[in-house]
Structure 1
C-alpha cells in the first residue's frame, strides 16, 4: 500500500516542523494566559498605609466636658463648655490589614478573613474583623448567610457584630482575568456594594495594571450600621445650640440661628482608587480619601463635602495610601506569573517566525523539485 506521507522527504519533514512551530506559537501563550486561576487557599498578606495626618474629634474630652487640649489661641476654646470645633485635633493615622484565605469542605470555595486595625498617634482606636466564603473562580461571595463582621471602637469602649449576613460585591480580590468594566465593590461602612468603575491602564514597574475609581456620597453611619446596638452609636451623636457646634461662618453658610437646637449625627463618605493586575486579579495599590463627620442631615452632609467644610466636625478624616513596602510586596507576588506570560509570548512569537521561515523553505524545496522535473 502506497504511503500517504513520505517521511523520508525533506520537504515533508520541513512542513511538519513548520506546522508544529506555528501551533506552539499560536496556542501556548493564550493557553497560559487564559487558564483558570482559582483563588489560592494559602494566602496570608499584610497591607499597611503611610502615616496620614488629618483632623479628628477628641470624643472623650468632649463627652466629659474637659477643656480642649489645645485652644489654638481662641478664647472660646478655654472653657470646659467649649464649642465642638475646639475639640478637633490633628492626628497621625495608619491602617494595618491582614488578609488570609483557607480551605473549606468545598474545593470551589475559599474562606477569606480580614482583620483591620486603625491607629492614631500610635494608639489603636478601632478594629474591624470580616469573614466571607468566596467563589474561588470569581472572587465573589457565594450566595447565602455566610459573612460576618465585628467592629470595636476602642477609644469609646464600644462595638458591635453582625453574624451570618449575605454580602454582595468583591472586596479583597478582583476576579482573575479582570475586565475593563465596572464591578460591584463592597464597602464595610455602608454594608452595601456600589460600582467601582474602570478608568484606565498604566504600568507599575513594567507590569500592566487596570485602575478603578469609586465615590460614595455621604451616608448615615447609624443607618448603615443598623446591626449595631443603637446605644453603642448614640455616643457619636451630639446635640445642643448651633453656636456650640458650628463656627460663625458655618452658621451663616447653613442658615442656622446661633440659638437653634441641632442634633448632629455621623456621616461617612469615601473616594477610592484601586489598581489591579488583571491576569491574577491581585490588588496592587489602593488610595482612599475617607471622611466620617457630623452633620444635621444628608443634605447638609453633601453640602459640607462639596464645600470641603468637614474638618471642624470630623470624627475621622484621612487621605490614606498604601505604603511603599506594601506596594512592592504586592507587585512581587504577581511578578512570576506576569514574567512567565511574557516569556511565553516571546516564545510564541519566535515559534511563529520559525514556522513561517520553515514554510518558506518548504515552498522553495517544492519549486526546486518541480524545476528539476521539468
Structure 2
C-alpha cells in the first residue's frame, strides 16, 4: 500500500511541475521581449516611403530668370518703376532719340529701337521688378529608403521642392522655385549620420540642375530623431546652408492625441554664399568651376544701391550676398523618434555684408516693410505641414508607438504575471503532492 500511495503522490506533483515549467517559460519570454526582442525592433524600418506636403501660403520669390534677362515679371510689368519708359528716362527724351537727336549723356537713359520702343537692355530696373510677392507657394518632400541599407544602417533620399501654385498649369518646370535632392546614410538606431563621406546634397534651381562635388561627412540629425528621444538639444543639419546647429527642446505636448516633444531652431542670418563656398572648399582640392554655377544665385555684383532700395548714394555700385534665416519647429514622438509635425518660417534676402544683414533682420519694422513691398527678398516662405500629411504621419507614428508599447510593456507584463502565477501554482501543487505522498507512506 505504501508504494501505491507514493506513486499517487508523484502523479499528483506532475501538474505542479508543468505549471512551474510553464511559469518559467512565460517569464523568460517576457524578459526576452523587454531586453532583446523590442530593443532589436527599435531600428528605422528599411521600407520608408513618406511624403510631406505643406499648406499653400502667400510668399515671395526673386525670379532669377527675369533678373538675368532684365525683364520685369508679369506680375510687376504694369508698375510705374518697372516700365522701360519710366525707369530709363522720360518719353520726350526717347522721342528725341528716335528722331535722331543726341540723347542726354546719362547711364539711366535707355537706348531706343528703330520703331521708337525703349530697349530694356539699357534700363536699370529696381530689383523689386523681379520679385513676385503674395504668390501661393507650397513645399513638398518625399523620403525613401535606398541602397546601401542593411541591418545596421539605412540610406535615405529626400527630394524636396518649393513650388508656385499659381504656375502649376505650366508644369513642374514652370512652377519650380528651387529643389534639393539629399542623400544620407544613418545609423538605424541613433539616427546619426555615419562617419563616412557618403552624404550628398544636389542643388536644383528653376533654371535646371546645378552639380558640384558632393560626397562629404555631415553631423546632425535631420529627417528622424533617435528612438527614446531625450528632452535635450540635438545637433540638426540644414541642407540649405550646409551647416549644423542645435535644435532646442521646448517642452512636452500632444499632437492629434499622440505624445510629442517640441523642438525649435532659430537660424541666421547666415551668409549662404560663404557657407556653401566653404562647404565645397572643404571637400575638394583646388578650384572646381562647377562650384561657380552653384554659387551664382547667392551673390549679385555690379548693380547699384538704388536698384536694391538701399540708403545713401543710389548710384553706388554694391556687392550683394544672399542671407538665410529660418525658424524651424518640429514635434517628435519620443518613443519612435518620428517627426509628426513641422513648420518653417524661412526668409532669404540680400545684404552687403554680415553686419548689414544682422542690422536689417533685427529691425522688425524694416522686415515688415520688406514683406509688404520687397526690394531685396530672395525667398519668403512661412508654412507647416498640411492636414492630410499630419493625419497620415500621426497614424503611422501611433501604430509604431502602439506596437512598441504592446510588445515592450503590455505583453511582457501579462506574460510576467501569468508566469509568476504559474510558478506559485506549481509550487503549491508540488508541496501538496509531496505532503500527500508522505502521509500515505506513514499510514
TM-score under structure 1 length normalisation = 0.79
TM-aligned CA deviation for residue 37 of structure 1:
0.7
Partner of 1:363: none
Partner of 1:369: none
Bigger-Rg structure (1/2): 2
**Correspondence 1:329-344 to 2 at 5 A:** 329-341=392-404
CA distance in 1, matches of 2:356, 2:39: 49
Partner of 1:362: none
Match of 1:104 among 148, 154, 169: 148
Match of 2:47 among 34, 42, 47: 42
**Correspondence 1:96-245 to 2 at 5 A:** 96-102=140-146, 104=148, 106-120=150-164, 121=166, 122=168, 123-154=175-206, 156-157=207-208, 159-226=210-277, 227=280, 229-236=291-298, 237-245=300-308
TM-aligned CA deviation for residue 231 of structure 1:
4.2
TM-aligned CA deviation for residue 16 of structure 1:
8.0
TM-aligned CA deviation for residue 320 of structure 1:
2.2
TM-aligned CA deviation for residue 318 of structure 1:
0.3
CA distance in 2, matches of 1:324, 1:136: 28
- Preserved CA contact (<8 Å) 1:84 1:245: yes
Larger strand proportion of the pair: 1
- Preserved CA contact (<8 Å) 1:189 1:224: no
Partner of 1:62: 67
Superposed CA offset, 1:262-317 (max 9, x none): 22111111110011111111111110111111111111112222224254211111
Q: CA RMSD in A?
A: 3.8
Superposed CA offset, 1:239-278 (max 9, x none): 332122116xxx2xxxx33333222111111110011111
Deviant stretches of 4+, over 3 Å? 6-9, 26-36, 67-75, 102-106, 340-358
Partner of 2:341: 285
Superposed CA offset, 1:184-220 (max 9, x none): 1110012121111111111123211111111111112
TM-aligned CA deviation for residue 142 of structure 1:
0.7
Partner of 1:84: 127
Q: Secondary structure at the match of 1:46?
A: strand
TM-aligned CA deviation for residue 38 of structure 1:
1.2
- Preserved CA contact (<8 Å) 2:149 2:155: no
Q: Secondary structure at the match of 1:334?
A: helix
- Preserved CA contact (<8 Å) 2:186 2:193: yes
CA distance in 1, matches of 2:264, 2:399: 27
CA distance in 2, matches of 1:339, 1:272: 28
> How many correspondences in the alignment?
355
CA distance in 2, matches of 1:50, 1:299: 34
Q: Which moved more, 1:159-168 or 1:238-247?
A: 238-247
Q: Which moved more, 1:84-93 or 1:205-214?
A: 84-93
Match of 2:319 among 230, 240, 263: 263
In the alignment, structure 1 segments of 5+ residues that lack a partner are: 1-5, 359-374
**Correspondence 1:318-333 to 2 at 5 A:** 318-333=381-396
Q: Which moved more, 1:119-128 or 1:169-178?
A: 119-128
Alpha-carbon spacing, 1:114–1:355, altered in 2? closer, same or farther (3 Å) = closer
- Preserved CA contact (<8 Å) 1:207 1:338: no
CA distance in 2, matches of 1:193, 1:280: 23
Alpha-carbon spacing, 1:327–1:35, altered in 2? closer, same or farther (3 Å) = same
TM-score under structure 2 length normalisation = 0.68
CA distance in 2, matches of 1:178, 1:232: 36
- Preserved CA contact (<8 Å) 2:340 2:397: no
CA distance in 2, matches of 1:103, 1:65: 44
Partner of 2:287: none
Alpha-carbon spacing, 1:68–1:212, altered in 2? closer, same or farther (3 Å) = same
TM-aligned CA deviation for residue 53 of structure 1:
1.2
CA distance in 1, matches of 2:33, 2:193: 31
**Correspondence 1:350-365 to 2 at 5 A:** none
Larger helix proportion of the pair: 2
In the alignment, structure 2 segments of 5+ residues that lack a partner are: 1-9, 88-123, 169-174, 281-289, 423-443
Partner of 1:299: 355
Q: Which moved more, 1:290-299 or 1:342-351?
A: 342-351
